[in-house]
Amino acid sequence: MKYNFDEIIDRTGTNSYKWEIAEGELPMWVADMDFRTAPEITEAMIKRAQHGVFGYSTIPDEWYNAYINWWKNRHGIEYKKSELIFSTGVIPIISSCVRKLTSPAENVLIMTPVYNIFYNCIRNNGRNVQEFPLDYKNGEYSIDYERLEKAMSDPQTTLMLLCDPHNPIGRIWDKDTLARIGELAYDNGVTVISDEIHCDITDPECEYVPFASVSEKCRDNCVVCISPTKAFNLAGLQTAAAVVPNKKLRHKVWRALNTDEVAEPNSFAVQAAIAAFEHGGDWLDELRQYLYDNKQLVREFISRELPQIKLVPSNATYLLWLDCTSLGISSRKLAGHIRKSTGLYLSSGDIYGSKECFLRMNIACPRVLVKDGLERLLKAINVIKERF
């Protein structure tokens, strides 16, 4: 491989949210990676920093072209320049849209288990969380469309937050699934915000389906959230985009982002995105293979050493969803036990809306740390019967 993903990088002393931990702990929870970003991006940042003047920034044509060409060449959809709006992040887009596109006390639908910050975006803005639990059977998740139609037909439900690929289950929703979701939403007057931030982190040979590419109903009724931050480990640079094909809806989103003052870039946000999408493709492809190999390592280890835990099949993201229901305790209690006894820090499934015992594991780190995490998990589970 051209790039070294095995390198262990000391992130202590860098104000890393992920690594604000006690000595000896291993964080495999929050969704950022322990890899250096693509060197082409670093070079672009250095060049910008060397200029030495960091005044107010505008959005150049190169930024629009970088997004348009990447989605056209990588994902088979051609967005227009007029459809793209810069934002400081996907979550600012979602929160602004919740405020602008709904009224207080209306329902915002989410398919659970799902990214926990969705709850914050809804509740913090005075709207109601309408949980739609995915069906879970034989280790896989699916959608009951009769239940979904009933949920969307509630006149109090006006917005849906879609996660594709779906965090934390790692599922890529196929075209037929998205078409059915889109049709139900359109027919019931429910606008769809499609969070596609994980779209570039798929297994090799796997491809996600952009929601706006599926049908006219989908395209005409959506706000798409995209960004290089997950794929290239750039979350701290605050750079993302909203894509809104529908002109009237786009005006509302543009007003929302500008009203909330989240539509202006810092001095590095534009350059980082351009460098990522214009020069980061080879790095990303090697990363995807490395993450896939990490995933296979975890799968084989759990199958061999921890048969009481089931790894939910996935084909996207670097987040693994562990079914621990056979252990007979709550996810919060289990996560606490694992961290206290071994220092392994995993995310408790209850924060994603899971009623059963699941844990989320982030494997976007050098392989030696993945192996360390698995050994710690094994140690914790081996004493579980003695403790509970």
Q: What is the CATH number of the domain that holds 75?
A: 3.40.640.10
DSSP secondary structure letter of residue 313: P
Residue 11 lies in a domain: no
Q: Residue 294 belongs to what H/E stretch?
A: helix 281-305
> Do 200 and 318 share a structural domain?
no
Determine the structural domain holding residue 347 and report its residue range: 26-39+281-381
Would you say residue 310 lies in a domain?
A: yes
Instruction: Answer with the one of 210, 245, 279 that is the final residue of a domain.
Output: 279
Residues 221 and 81 in one domain: yes
* 180 and 296 co-located in one domain: no
Residue 252 maps to a domain? yes
Torsion sign (Cα): 9, 11, 17, 22 = positive
Question: Where among 234, 250, 279 does a domain terminate?
Answer: 279
Place of tokens 């439900």: 157
Domain annotation covers residue 239: yes
- pLDDT values of the chain reduced to their tens digit, one per residue, 388 residues: 899 999 999 999 999 999 999 999 999 999 999 999 999 999 999 999 999 999 999 999 999 999 999 999 999 999 999 999 999 999 999 999 999 999 999 999 999 999 999 999 999 999 999 999 999 999 999 999 999 999 999 999 999 999 999 999 999 999 999 999 999 999 999 999 999 999 999 999 999 999 999 999 999 999 999 999 999 999 999 999 999 999 999 999 999 999 999 999 999 999 999 999 999 999 999 999 999 999 999 999 999 999 999 999 999 999 999 999 999 999 999 999 999 999 999 999 999 999 999 999 999 999 999 999 999 999 999 988 666 5
Please tell me whether residues 121 and 250 are part of one structural domain. Answer: yes
What CATH number has the domain bearing residue 374? 3.90.1150.10
User: Does residue 245 lie within any of the structural domains?
Assistant: yes
* Residue at 9 is within a domain: no
Is 206 inside any structural domain?
Answer: yes
77 and 212 part of one domain: yes
Contact between 1 and 286 (Cβ < 8 Å): yes
Report which DSSP code applies to 268: T
Same-domain check for residues 31 and 137 = no
pLDDT at 376: 98
pLDDT of 386 reads 65
Shared domain check, 203 and 98 = yes
Cβ–Cβ under 8 Å, residues 21 and 345:
yes
Do 32 and 66 reside in the same domain of the chain? no
Coil, helix or strand for 322? strand
Number of domains in the chain: 2
CA distance 41 to 158: 39
Query: Which domain-ending residue is among 252, 279, 306?
Result: 279
Decide: 89 and 115 in contact? Cβ < 8 Å.
Answer: no
Domain-embedded: residue 46: no
Residues 137 and 181 in one domain: yes
Angle between helices 90-101 and 247-259 (to 10 degrees): 110
178, 288: one domain: no
Residues 94 and 193 both lie in one domain:
yes
Same domain for 271 and 287, yes or no, is no
